[in-house]
Amino acid sequence: MRMKSKALLAPAKINLCLHVLGRRSDGYHDLAMLMQRVALFDKVTVCLTPGASILVDCPGLELPEGAENIAARAARLMLDHVGQRQGVAITVNKGIPAAAGLGGGSSDAAAVLLLLDDLLGLNLPLHELMMLGGRLGADVPFFLFRKTAWATGIGDILHEWRGMLPVWALLVNPGIPVATAWVYQNLRLTHPRTEDKIPRFPVRIEEVVHLLHNDLESVTCSRYPVVDEIKSEIMALGAAGALMSGSGPTVFGLFPEQGAAENAARALSRDTGWWSVAVSLY
């Protein structure tokens, strides 16, 4: 018997700004972030199978022994939530570097929730899907929201932000995985802050650059100074601004034109060996 199967492209994200406002009593941090999807994707395929096992295949990516992929946890959470017993086979073809500050795992989890909702004919409302996503990780609701967003709370309170200009992003990754938990554990907050006003919509790329800020950058740079080196190289190649995304180590540079971003990507790949790609905003 042929089983139902569907696929979805799961985009990466960059944080145009990331303010850490304070540590919460539950161990999480209150954040204020401007989150933007970019046209770099994993391909997630979900197939309904006989039985009740949940299997994940990530070609070319090995999971730590005993660990469960977030995509598998997403499938288990969804099935438990709707009270269904169902086998699921998930294949994640990675285009987004792992542990890179680009949200690949969270995007994959969001894709699994969306695909199972479709395959099982559930038609769950968005707020319910986002509630489930928030139980998997702070970035998952954003990928379910599927719009540029001003995010507060732990990243789960989202407001659509319509002001992004059609700029291009150069993504550069030195191939060093950075654990998000380690970055937050080593973040030293001097005092709680309030930074919850939605930024005004920009009309020039200089105004987008003015928004660039990441409270986590200094933590990652203290252990991996290559992040600062990448920022300098991107700026030397003509970027209007550059910033580390999320907990890193990926750095993005903003360019007003596709050709300039693509030329910079080729130059960095050739001269440094760093993974470099030019992408449009999504």
**DSSP structure class, residue 281:** B
> Is the distance from CB of 174 to CB of 273 less than 8 angstroms?
no
Six token digits for residue 273: 């060996």
**Nearest of 157, 147, 144, 155 to residue 118 by alpha carbon:** 144
What 3-state class would DSSP assign to 219?
helix
147 labelled catalytic: no
The closest alpha carbon to 145, from 228, 188, 155, belongs to 155
Rg from Cα positions in the chain? 19
CB neighbourhood size of 267 (10 A):
15
Active-site entry in 42, 108, 117, 139: 139
Q: Which residues contact 96 (CB under 8 A, 6 or more apart)?
A: 10, 12, 40, 41, 42, 102, 103, 104, 107
pTM of the predicted model, to two decimals? 0.93
Q: Which helix (H) or strand (E) holds 243?
A: strand 241-244
197 has catalytic annotation: no
Spell out the domains of the chain, with CATH numbers in brackets: 5-160 (3.30.230.10), 168-280 (3.30.70.890)
For the chain, the first-to-last Cα distance in angstroms comes to 38
DSSP letter, residue 124: -
- Classify each residue of 176-210 as buried b or exposed e, where b means 16 or more C-beta atoms within 10 Å of its C-beta: bebebeebbeebeeeeeeeeeeebeebeebeebbe
CA dist 81 and 243 (Å) reads 38
Smallest Cα–Cα separation from 82: which of 116, 126, 58, 52? 116
Strand order in the sheet with 241-244: 241-244, 251-255, 168-173, 275-280
Q: Are 86 and 122 in contact (CB under 8 A)?
A: no
pLDDT mean for each 10 residues of the chain (282 residues): 86 95 86 96 97 92 67 97 96 93 96 98 97 95 96 92 91 93 87 69 90 95 96 98 96 97 97 96 92
What lies within 8 Å, CB to CB, of 67 at 6+ separation is none
Between the CA atoms of 265, 266, 271 and 274, what dihedral angle is there, to the nearest 10 degrees? 50
